[in-house]
Amino acid sequence: MQEFVLVVDDESAIRQLVATQLGFLGYSTRSTEDHLAALDLVASDEPPALVMLDIEMPKASGHEVLEKIKAINEDTQVVMMSGLHDLATVRQCLQAGAYDYLAKPFELEDLSNTAERALERRRLLRQNRQYQEDLEQMVQDQTEEIRRTRDIALLTLAKLAESRDSETGLHLERMQEYSRILAEALRDSPYAEHIDDDFTEWVFKSSPLHDIGKVGIPDHILRKKGPLTNEEFAVMRTHSTIGGDTLKTVLERFQGSTFLHMAMDIAYHHHERWDGNGYPAGLAADEIPLAARIVAIADAYDAITSRRPYKEPIDHAEAVRRITVDRGKHFDPVLVDIFMTCQDRFAEVQSRMVDQTLEPPLSRAAGD
């Protein structure tokens, strides 16, 4: 789109003089005596780069037209022209956004220099704004890249810990989906005041870290294919403390990370029970962090419906029945009620993200 200069003056001789001089400089020009026509051009898809505007016009003051021009298109530069040498008017126009002021009669050299400076100012302003927009986009892109890198690193870490266990497949990915479904459904619940987009995202991102502490469980217990002894089961239960303590140590070095704080709560407390008979702290009811209560249901549903080395998968209906039986015992009763409203979405995820395994189940006590 070629830049053009719009000359607005009720005197045809002035319009012609200014247009001719600017034409000699290589600028495309248009002229009008009608301030409404000028405003229409400023509001068009191809507005003028510069308006040479007379202050004294029969149907509107130049100052009024100037204010409307700047309101419509801040990029368009305006140079006022007047035969009156009124400093108050000059100051008023400059304060309203005019780039400069030419007093009639003016030297053609002054006209040329003023127009060139005004157009250069427009170009610099546009370049600066484009630079700012590019910089903001670059920062946004880099921030998104950092977030993606963080998410990938955390999921990789969680996958690495899980790989030591015999429970592999898409467990973590399903856990994320179940946790997000339940968190989103809580927007219409007694817990609605605690739920926003950030909470839902953090639950989704941090839920894979729930069993990160299993990295500290000895292989002979973690990968045992037979029943665990009471002593071995006691060691297995320490994974929640190991995971929570690990994330707590990180938090002590990097204060203010709400995301990691939620991950720590989940790692510590996803095996707590609503009735207080869980571990490691024996918390009860709303003493248990909400995110951990959400993940507890997601984890239980996946454990029931997935194939494990020691059991065949159990169908969705039975999983729903078992969770409802534990309403108010193992699980938060409000969360169970919300789970019932979105159980079909759980079933859809479970059927879509089925583990592919050829290993037959082996006998083992499913205590954890």
CATH number for the domain harbouring residue 51: 3.40.50.2300
In this structure, the answer to whether residues 110 and 202 fall within a common structural domain is no
When divided into structural domains, the chain yields a total of 2
In this structure, the answer to whether residues 240 and 109 fall within a common structural domain is no
What is the extent of the structural domain holding 197? 164-352
Across 285-318, b (16+ Cβ under 10 Å) vs e yields eeebbbbbbbbbbbbbbbbbbbbbbbeebeebee
The H or E element that residue 81 is part of is strand 77-82
pLDDT at 256: 58
In this structure, the answer to whether residues 88 and 184 fall within a common structural domain is no
In this structure, the answer to whether residues 320 and 188 fall within a common structural domain is yes
| Residues in CB range of 204: below 8 A, 6 or more apart | 176, 179, 180, 183
In this structure, the answer to whether residues 213 and 317 fall within a common structural domain is yes
pLDDT at 338: 96
Alpha-carbon radius of gyration of the chain: 35
CB atoms < 10 A from the CB of 197, how many?
9
- How is residue 173 written in tokens? 């990915």
In this structure, the answer to whether residues 103 and 239 fall within a common structural domain is no
In this structure, the answer to whether residues 198 and 295 fall within a common structural domain is yes
Across 139-178, b (16+ Cβ under 10 Å) vs e yields eeeeeeeeeeeeeeebbeebeebbebbbbebbbbebbbbb
* CATH number of the domain encompassing residue 268: 1.10.3210.10
316 vs 308: CA distance, rounded Å? 16
In a domain, 156, yes or no: no
In this structure, the answer to whether residues 115 and 224 fall within a common structural domain is no
pLDDT tens, position by position, for the chain (368 residues)? 578 999 998 888 888 888 888 888 888 889 998 888 889 999 998 999 999 998 887 777 888 888 999 999 888 999 988 877 777 777 888 888 888 888 888 888 888 888 889 888 888 888 888 888 877 777 777 766 666 666 666 666 666 666 555 555 688 889 999 999 999 999 989 999 999 999 999 999 889 889 888 888 888 888 777 788 899 999 999 999 998 998 888 787 766 566 788 989 999 999 999 999 999 999 999 999 999 999 999 999 999 998 776 678 899 999 999 999 999 999 999 999 999 999 999 999 999 988 655 344 444 443 44
CB 178 within 8 A of CB 302: yes
In this structure, the answer to whether residues 125 and 199 fall within a common structural domain is no
- Cα angle value 165/166/170 (rounded, 5°): 95
For residue 317, the SS3 value is: helix
In a domain, 42, yes or no: yes
CB 264 within 8 A of CB 251: yes
In this structure, the answer to whether residues 175 and 292 fall within a common structural domain is yes
In a domain, 197, yes or no: yes
**Parallel, antiparallel, or unpaired for β 77-82 and 100-103?**
parallel
Q: Helix 239-253 to helix 230-237 angle, to the nearest 10 degrees? A: 20
In this structure, the answer to whether residues 119 and 192 fall within a common structural domain is no
Report DSSP letters for 91-127, one per residue: HHHHHTT--EEEESS--HHHHHHHHHHHHHHHHHHHH
In this structure, the answer to whether residues 171 and 124 fall within a common structural domain is no
The H or E element that residue 166 is part of is none
The H or E element that residue 285 is part of is none
- How is residue 354 written in tokens? 């089925």
